[in-house]
Amino acid sequence: MEQLVSPVTRGDPESALRWTCKSTYRLKAELNHQGYKVGSKTIGRLLKEMGYSLQSPRKTDEGGKHEDRDAQFSFINSKVGAFQGCGKPTLSVDTKKKENIGNYANKGKEYQPKGQPDQVKVYDFIDKSKGKVAPYGIYDVEQNVGFVNVGISSDTAEFAVNSIRKWWDKMGAATYEQSPAILITADCGGSNGNRVRLWKMKLQELANEIQKEIHVCHFPPGTSKWNKIEHRMFCHISGNWRGKSLSSRQTVVNLIGSTKTNEGLKLQAGLDKNQYKKGQIVSDKDFAKLNITKLDFHGEWNYIIKPNTM
């Protein structure tokens, strides 16, 4: 049932609950067709045990809907399945919400001695001496492990790709050294947006360094909640530090690294002290040097970057 539901699920990054646009009756019909004798009530109970919840339709409207949105979801699902079937890495990437560093209130509650709650600041004005952090996550969909690069500078495309590079050095290389390619699924916007030239140029540099093809698939605009990292990794990080003040950068790193789930999620985290410059321009001449191939189906969303030295 997880295989049936997974391609069309999405989640709130602050909640472990997921929701699905498949009904219990539709799931019943598909499972019965596969030879499983199960009723819709049992499916509803199992969905709840698996972490899904029934949500009001009013919460599904995210604005305009691209005519090929569902087709792109199917394309991504097929691509992920093909990579996993060959033992190639499939990564879900994104930047988590920036967090203020200091003695600030954080959502959630923790057990404390009665009448002795932690004392935090009333207002969330930024402490300029500590600033904010931008956690960029890389989630290995097949292995259920991830790496979070905690940046202290701007959330740029250079920062995003350097985060993927750190994942490769710390986790990926040991598992996928023999793999000829990596698949990355990402949102359409932000530092890893499909229109960001610097994102593609830095991926080219990474492909040249590790001598791997980098396949990229972007989710259509307005559908970021379908990104696996949101409801398989980020929500658990938020749950792990609920009610805790993120008093220092190292506290953030430690809390992320200690995040685990009953399903076996394991995370590593590191602090990135590099300063990333905003507004870097990639000229037409430099962009033309990229060894990039747009796929036939929505090449603006789906493309392959091959090493220039292959």
CB–CB of 186/154 below 8 Å?
no
Q: Using 50, 70 and 90 to split pLDDT, how confident is the model at 30?
A: confident
Q: Using 50, 70 and 90 to split pLDDT, how confident is the model at 183?
A: very high
Higher-confidence residue of 233 and 105: namely: 233
Each residue's pLDDT tens digit, 192-204: 999 999 999 999 9
| Terminal CA-CA length for the chain | 41
Kindly list the domain boundaries of the chain, sorted by start residue. Answer: 69-305
Between CA 143 and CA 27 the distance in angstroms is 26
Question: What are the structure tokens assigned to 183, written together?
Answer: 């698949």
Each residue's pLDDT tens digit, 38-85: 998 999 899 888 888 766 544 444 545 778 888 999 999 999 999 999
Between CA 171 and CA 212 the distance in angstroms is 15
Q: Using 50, 70 and 90 to split pLDDT, how confident is the model at 29?
A: confident
Each residue's pLDDT tens digit, 130-174: 889 999 999 999 999 999 999 999 999 999 999 999 999 999 999
Q: Using 50, 70 and 90 to split pLDDT, how confident is the model at 213?
A: very high
Beta strands in the chain (DSSP E): 9-11, 18-20, 90-95, 99-100, 132-140, 145-151, 181-186, 213-218, 266-272, 292-294, 302-305
Query: Is residue 9's pLDDT more than 50?
Result: yes
Each residue's pLDDT tens digit, 223-265: 888 889 998 999 999 988 886 778 899 999 999 999 999 889 9
Closest CA to 207 of 114, 59, 309: 309
Higher-confidence residue of 192 and 111: namely: 192
- Coil, helix or strand for 145? strand
Write down the residue that tokens 């685990």 correspond to: 260
- Coil, helix or strand for 182? strand
Between CA 157 and CA 154 the distance in angstroms is 9
pLDDT at 3: 79
Each residue's pLDDT tens digit, 259-299: 999 889 999 999 999 999 999 999 999 999 999 999 999 99
- Coil, helix or strand for 29? helix
Q: Using 50, 70 and 90 to split pLDDT, how confident is the model at 123?
A: very low
Render the burial of 270-281: b for 16+ CB within 10 Å, e for the rest: bebeeebeeeee
Question: What are the structure tokens assigned to 25, written together?
Answer: 């009756």
Between CA 9 and CA 23 the distance in angstroms is 12
Cα→Cα distances 208→16, 123, 211, 290, Å: 37, 47, 5, 11
CB–CB of 256/267 below 8 Å?
yes
Q: Using 50, 70 and 90 to split pLDDT, how confident is the model at 122?
A: very low
Closest CA to 192 of 227, 160, 166: 160
- Coil, helix or strand for 33? helix
pLDDT at 200: 98
* Amino acid identity, position 65: K
Between CA 145 and CA 166 the distance in angstroms is 14
Per CATH, is 69-305 categorized as 2.30.30?
Answer: no
C-alpha 64 chain-centroid distance: 22
